[in-house]
Amino acid sequence: MSEYRDPEMVEKYLSELHKIVTRTWTIMEVCGGQTHSLVKNGLLNLMPKEINMVHGPGCPVCVTPVNLIDKAVWLAIEKGVIMCSYGDMLRVPGSKQSLLEAKAAGADVRILYSPLEAVKIAQDNPNREVVFFAVGFETTAPANALSVVHAHRMGVKNYSILASHVLVPPAMEAVMNDENAVIQAFLAAGHVCTIMGITEYYPLVEKYRVPIVVTGFEPVDLLQGILMVVKQLEKGEYRLENQYSRVVSSEGNLEAQKVINQVFEIEDREWRGIGSIPLSGYEVRKELEHYNANIKFDVNIEKVPENAECIAGLVLKGLKKPHECPQFGKKCTPQMPLGAPMVSSEGACAAYYHFSMAMEEVT
C-alpha cells in the first residue's frame, strides 16, 4: 500500500491540480473515512485554495437518530440484554444517556470488532438475550446480515439486531435537493461501491449533471479522485468514473448483495440532523422479524427533539464546516459531545478537532 502514500506521488498530483484549476470548485467527499484521511494527511492545506472540499453525510454513527440510541439504552437497561456494538456508537449522546453511561450504570454493553462475534456470545449465553446494534452503510450491511444468517442457520434463538442501516445514493439526493446546496461534484465512497458496484450512480450524474468519481481512501487515491473530478469540471463535463478499480468492480460483490437481500428490505429512514429520507435504509425483512430487536422486545420509545445547539444537520449536508459552529471546541468536544459528528472517528467535527493544526490553516 505504501505507493498510495508516497510523498512524490502526492507531489505530482498536487502539482497537476495546481496547473489545471482555473476557478473555485465545491466538491463533496461523501464518506467520513475520506474526510478523516483528507484532514489527517493535511491534504486540505496542500491543495489549491480554489478547491473547496465539503464533508458529506457518510458517517453512519453520525446519522443514527437519537431515538435509536435511546432504544439501545432501553434494551440494555430495562430489558437487561447483552448489548453489543461497534465502539464508535458508545459515546454518542442519547436524549438522556449514551451507551457508555448505561454501561457505567451497570448495563452489559460490549464493544465488538465483528457482528459474527455477537452470535458466538449468544451461543455461549443461552439464558441471556443478545442484541447487536447493527449500524452502517452498504459496506457493513453484508456483515451485519451475515450475523443473522449464522444465527438462523445454527438455530440461535436468543440473538437479534437493532438495525440502523442507511444508504448512500438517497443521501446524495437529499444533499442535492436542499435549496441551499452548492455541491458541484462528488467523490463517491469507495468501500460502499465495493459492495454495491457503481451503476446506481449513473442516474445521479444525469439528474444533477455533476461528475461523480468513485474514490479510495489513501492520500494518492484521494488526490487522483479529486484530479479526475476537477478535469471534468474544468471541461464542463459530467461523467461517472472509477478511481478505485483495484477493489471496485462495476457490478460490486454479488454474493454480498445476495446476503443483504436475504436479510434486509429497503424502507424510509430517519437521519439524525437531516430528517426522514424516502427508501434510504434497511430493516430486517418481515419473514425474519424474530431477529429484529424492535419487534422481539416491542420497543416503543417516544421521539424527542434533537439538541438545538448542535448544527450536525448543516455539517452533514455540507452547508457548514465544523469550526463554523459556535459550540465547536467549547461546549462540544469529543469528551463531552453535543452531537455524533464530534464522537465518531469519522465525524467531520472530530476530524477537525483532533487535527486542529489543519483546521487553523483551513479557516
Contacts to another protein by CB under 8 A = 1, 3-4, 8-9, 12, 16, 31-33, 58-61, 86, 88, 113-117, 135-137, 139-140, 142-143, 146, 150, 153-154, 189, 191-192, 194-195, 220, 224, 245-248, 253, 255-256, 259, 344, 346
Report how far residue 25's alpha carbon sits from residue 347's, in angstroms, rounded to the nearest whole number.
23
CB of 142 to another protein, least distance (A): 6
CB of 335 to another protein, least distance (A): 21
Residue type (1 letter), 153: R
Identify which of residues 140 and 301 has a Cβ nearer to another protein in the complex: 140
Identify which of residues 259 and 362 has a Cβ nearer to another protein in the complex: 259
Give the max Cα distance, the chain: 66
Report how far residue 56's alpha carbon sits from residue 171's, in angstroms, rounded to the nearest whole number.
9
- Alpha-helix runs per DSSP H in the chain: 7-20, 32-40, 43-46, 60-63, 66-77, 99-104, 115-124, 141-154, 168-177, 190-196, 202-208, 219-235, 254-263, 293-296, 312-316, 348-354, 356-362
CB of 150 to another protein, least distance (A): 7
Identify which of residues 71 and 191 has a Cβ nearer to another protein in the complex: 191
Identify which of residues 255 and 267 has a Cβ nearer to another protein in the complex: 255
CB of 298 to another protein, least distance (A): 28
> Which string of b and e fits 113-136 if b means at least 16 CB within 10 Å?
eebbebbbbbbeeeeebbbbbbbb
Those residues whose C-beta lies under 8 Å from the C-beta of residue 354, and which sit 6 or more positions away, are 40, 334
CB of 32 to another protein, least distance (A): 7
Radius of gyration of the chain (CA): 20
CB of 189 to another protein, least distance (A): 6
CB of 302 to another protein, least distance (A): 27
Identify which of residues 77 and 119 has a Cβ nearer to another protein in the complex: 119
Residue 92, CA atoms < 13 Å, CB-side half-sphere:
31
Identify which of residues 59 and 161 has a Cβ nearer to another protein in the complex: 59
Per-residue DSSP letters for 213-251? Answer: EEE-SSHHHHHHHHHHHHHHHHHT---EEES-TTT--SS
Identify which of residues 257 and 327 has a Cβ nearer to another protein in the complex: 257
